[in-house]
Amino acid sequence: MAIGGNSVPKTTLFLVGFIAFITLPAEAAVKMYQFDIRVKNVSRLCHSKPIVTVNGRFPGPTIYAIEGDRVIVNVTNHAKYNMSIHWHGLKQYRNGWADGPAYITQCPIQTGNSYGYDFNVTGQRGTLWWHAHILWLRATVYGAIVIMPKPGTPFPFTKPNMEQIVVLGEWWHTDVEEIVNQGTKMGLPPNMSDAHTINGKSGPLFPCSEKHTFAMEVESGKTYLLRIVNAALNDELFFAIAGHNMTVVEVDAVYTKPFVTQAILIAPGQTTNVLVQADRSPGRYFMAARPFMDAPLPVDNKTATGIFQYKGIPNTVLPTLPQLPAPNDTDFALSYNKNLKSLNSANFPANVPLKVDRKLFYTVGLGKDPCPTCVNGTRILASLNNISFVMPKIGLLQAHYFNTSGVFRTDFPDKPLKPFNYTGAPLTANLGTAHGTRLSKIAFNSTVELVLQDTNLLTVESHPFHLHGYNFFVVGTGIGNFDPVKDPAKYNLVDPVERNTVGVPTGGWTAIRFRADNPGVWFMHCHLELHTGWGLKMAFVVEDGKGADQSILPPPNGLPPC
């Protein structure tokens, strides 16, 4: 919400659309949305530029649903770019056709065309989000998804008086696609963002902020649920509210054991729900977001701010800033993530796979390829198990479903072909990095343990990995090289956090487990758009089961042509 003059901002809590939808009958309903992709001129930080938007809004509209609903979103593309939308964190059981990543489950929606995403919201409730899944268009094409529990099902925590969506993002002064193309031609990382944003606005620490500061009005004594999304392309972010504690109650639409913290850490792709009590002296308090980076790499280190404003306090009162962790505070990051645990209650059990059918070990690396036309004669690339992923020309799910040969191979290795001291002295060699569209085939209903190991090829760095179509349990994490003998003994197999996007710590490893009970082709990639573009991605082919409801659904009519 913009702050201007001396007017007191009206609350945007419980948006009109949400109030309208909760008055519908209790039985499962069909929620229909129209997304018009259009270019619109937007001004931020004293600069104006055309951006790609949904329905002319930045951030885009929120999708509201009740657990059990069917959701249909018709997307019409009026922009010059091809488009696809991913519904991040929705499991899309047997229905990869609605998942949305371009050239993985569909070809993109071409200019002037439409495609209807049709999916059921089953067995999930909480905060997720949607975003463009092609090029770097999710820089401005994104919005929240709010899934309410079935009627009569209470939250497993104190019922809030009101709710607020808080979407964190990034902003560039100039056209993002031009910046990326320039970086690609030079073989260098594109320019970092010029600011971070809170609900599309950077706040008063930036110029021309009078109309570009988000504020939420609160009343003393009331409890607020903040639904926080990190929609930034390339930065993990700290978030805090001056003078107020937050109680974490959910991540990635899965309830957690509540714990109190002064700040949260949220990686690109992740969501976090927190309770905040308006229990301080009435005033104006900054909410703030700033990057976490504990590797020797440049980031946009500026702080985005919004205002947590008590009712009746004039805008002339200066807000106070929160004490955010230091930008390289590794200890806070590790401690915070260690506090995240599944609720594991009778109503919300943590069904951690205890027996593992398939063990995978993937190394995460950066490297260089020869590039005679680039600045240094090389181009940066990224790889998993020393394979840099090559995007196909048609959707992998279509190729799999229709048995189209020559599109991909299913020989992605279960472990690196050349073991080495992964986090030791920096290595600048590529170790013979291969390029290819290589997938890993997984048997239906098998249990999988995947260890993601950061490496010091060029440099160590943290990587938030997102697995489409699944939640997984984060059973272990550590710094240094994973020890397959000693480290599994330290796994949490009782109440590990369950989520869809997890950070691999800088110079460390993370172990996840999941049951492969969703047939189809499912993308897995680093959610730093920079790294995804360099090839830090792969996909799983989960085979059909033998039961009637254990195979991929037939494709819908009107799939976008390739």
What gap in Å lies between CA 39 and CA 37, rounded to an integer?
7
Identify the segments of the chain with pLDDT beneath 70. 1-27, 428-430
The pLDDT of residue 18 is 38
What gap in Å lies between CA 439 and CA 193, rounded to an integer?
33
The pLDDT of residue 211 is 85
Tell me the pLDDT tens digit for each residue of 440-490: 999 999 999 999 999 999 899 999 999 999 999 999 999 999 999 999 999
The pLDDT of residue 1 is 30
The type of residue at 32 is: M
The pLDDT of residue 21 is 37
Q: How buried is 551 (Cβ within 10 angstroms: 0-12 exposed, 13-18 middle, 19+ buried)?
A: middle
What is the spatial order of strands in the sheet that 142-148 belongs to? Answer: 63-66, 142-148, 126-132, 85-88
Q: Hey, what are 52's tokens?
A: 């790609």
What Cα–Cα distance (Å) separates residue 322 from each residue in 131, 194, 274, 299, 303? 29, 21, 16, 20, 11
pTM to 2 decimal places: 0.94
The pLDDT of residue 165 is 98
Tell me the pLDDT tens digit for each residue of 49-95: 999 999 999 999 999 999 999 999 999 999 999 999 999 999 999 99
The pLDDT of residue 430 is 67
Q: Which domains does the chain have, with CATH numbers?
A: 30-148 (2.60.40.420), 162-339 (2.60.40.420), 358-542 (2.60.40.420)
